[in-house]
Structure 1
Amino acid sequence: MDLILWRHAEAQEPEGDMTDMERALTRRGDKQAARMAAWLDRQLPDGTRILCSPAVRTEQTVKALARKYRLHDELRPGASPEQLLELAGWPNAKAPVLIVGHQPTLGETISRLLQLGEPECSVKKGAVWWLRSRERDTLQQTVVVTVQTAELL
């Protein structure tokens, strides 16, 4: 199975009585999301399930892709890697899954799947980590297919 983790693009800092869930993308964030969406649109297989946190900044990020997606409360800020992996169906889902979410959840999930020995790894705003589960010699493995940042596209 392919699990593609996309961190939301750059967002505004909270102002006034704005909640974390209401934070919108900056102009730079809009550009990051558009660049990454264009790349993803060329790479994603047909039938990819797209799941997104209900936060404004994540939904704005995924909308740049112009594909159908579903919002899931299990992906809100503060979600656990267990929630993310269960929702994705890791490692047995039949179709690839793209998840648009937040740090530290994405970094914690990557660290766990790659057995990095650290609680989390850093994921840049707007970046994509594409992971693949496979079986080799009866062992389940996680392979890094690619890591992309919007700035390098």
Structure 2
Amino acid sequence: MTVRTLILLRHAKAANPDDYETDIERPLAPRGHRDAAAAGEWLRASALEPDAVLCSTAVRTRETLAGLGLGNEVPVVYEHRIYVGPAADTLDLLRQTDATVETLLLIGHNPTISDLSDELAPRALQHGGLATSGIAVHRFEGPWRDLNQAALVDQQKPRG
């Protein structure tokens, strides 16, 4: 049976919401750019290289992805439902992941990202959820379509 890895990443620190007409337009703050780079370094140091990425359509999640420095060879799907949806909808998206993907990176927002981690591994997250640029690494055996529970094997808050 294939072991799958799901990396949940909350976007890095965003700019002040008062400076933008809509929430989806908010870019990263300077600290967010540093933290996104640190998250990328942590992923590489941990040998967590995604085969595919699911990313919210918000500017701050796109900039977080760019800051990770994954390179252009990793396929990315930008999905608006990650921006608006609850954890159950995001879990449905994960279940549609191609069977060839062993490691998937999901970049999104709270409360959805923390709620999803908690749904997969109840009460395993520390500190009440993921902070900005926080990472939760889950593993499970079987196909993506059967994803219901996945052990939380690591939780990090990389700082740049």
TM-score grouping bracket, smaller chain normalisation = 0.7 to 0.9
Unmatched tracts of structure 2, length 5 or more? 143-147
Structure 1 residue corresponding to 2:92, chosen from 70, 79, 86? 86
Secondary structure at 1:64's aligned position in 2? helix
Structure-2-length-normalised TM-score:
0.78
Displacement of 1:8 in angstroms is 0.4
Counterpart residue number, 1:13: 16
Q: Which amino acid aligns with 2:33?
A: D
Counterpart residue number, 1:44: 48
Contact preservation (8 Å) 1:41, 1:65: no
Secondary structure at 2:132's aligned position in 1? coil
Unmatched tracts of structure 1, length 5 or more? none
Q: Return the alpha-carbon distance in structure 2 between the equivalents of residues 17 and 125 of structure 1.
A: 19
Counterpart residue number, 1:75: 82
Structure-1-length-normalised TM-score:
0.81
Contact preservation (8 Å) 1:113, 1:142: yes
Task: Say if 2:140 is the partner of 1:133.
Answer: yes
Contact preservation (8 Å) 2:20, 2:26: no
Choose 87-96 or 5-14, whichever is displaced more.
Answer: 87-96
Q: Return the alpha-carbon distance in structure 1 between the equivalents of residues 121 and 61 of structure 2.
A: 24
Displacement of 1:134 in angstroms is 3.3
Q: How many residues align?
A: 143
- 1:82–1:25: structure 2 CA closer, same or farther, 3 Å change rule? same
- 1:15–1:149: structure 2 CA closer, same or farther, 3 Å change rule? same
Counterpart residue number, 2:58: 55
Percent identity between the aligned chains?
29
